[in-house]
Structure 1
Amino acid sequence: MPELGCPMREIEPANAGAHWAAQAHERPPQVWEEWASDLAVALLPAGRRWDAVAMSSLRMQAVAEVLGQDLAQVPVLTDLTVDRAYVFVPAGTAETWSEPDTTPIGADYWLVASKPGGRQVPAGTWLQAPDLITRLADPAVLRAALKRTTENL
Structure 2
Amino acid sequence: MDGNLRAVSQWLAEADPRPGKVRAEWEKHGIALLPLGRRFDAIRVPAERIHAAAGSDQPGAVATVLRAWLDGPVFRDFRSSMGPYYVLIAPGADWDGPAERLTTDTYLGFPRPGHATTLSRWVVRPPHPGALCDPQHVRTLLATATASLRAVGR
* TM-score tier (shorter): 0.7 to 0.9
| Correspondence list, 1:33-48, <5 A | 33-37=24-28, 39-48=29-38
Secondary structure class of the residue paired with 1:116:
coil
Unmatched segments (≥5 aa) in structure 1: 1-10
The one-letter amino acid paired with 1:108 is D
Paired residue for 2:86?
86
Identity %: 33
How many Å separate the matches in 2 of 1:87 and 1:20?
16
| TM-score, with structure 1 as normaliser | 0.77
Unmatched segments (≥5 aa) in structure 2: 56-64, 150-154
Paired residue for 2:103?
106
| TM-score, with structure 2 as normaliser | 0.77
How big is the shift at 1:63? 4.1
Question: For residues 17 and 68 of structure 1, do their structure 2 counterparts lie closer, same or farther at Cα, with a shift above 3 Å needed?
Answer: closer
1:22/1:32 contact within 8 Å kept: yes
Runs (4 or more) in structure 1 with deviation over 6 Å come to: none
How many Å separate the matches in 1 of 2:100 and 2:128?
28
1:117 maps to which of 108, 114, 118? 114
Secondary structure class of the residue paired with 1:32:
helix
How big is the shift at 1:53? 0.5
Secondary structure class of the residue paired with 2:43:
strand
Question: For residues 52 and 40 of structure 1, do their structure 2 counterparts lie closer, same or farther at Cα, with a shift above 3 Å needed?
Answer: same
2:53/2:148 contact within 8 Å kept: no
CA-atom RMSD in angstroms: 2.4
Aligned pair count? 138
1:128 and 2:124 aligned:
yes
Question: For residues 67 and 123 of structure 1, do their structure 2 counterparts lie closer, same or farther at Cα, with a shift above 3 Å needed?
Answer: closer
Secondary structure class of the residue paired with 2:119:
helix
| Correspondence list, 1:2-151, <5 A | 12-37=3-28, 39-63=29-53, 69-72=68-71, 74-82=72-80, 83-93=83-93, 97-100=95-98, 102-118=99-115, 120-132=116-128, 135-151=131-147
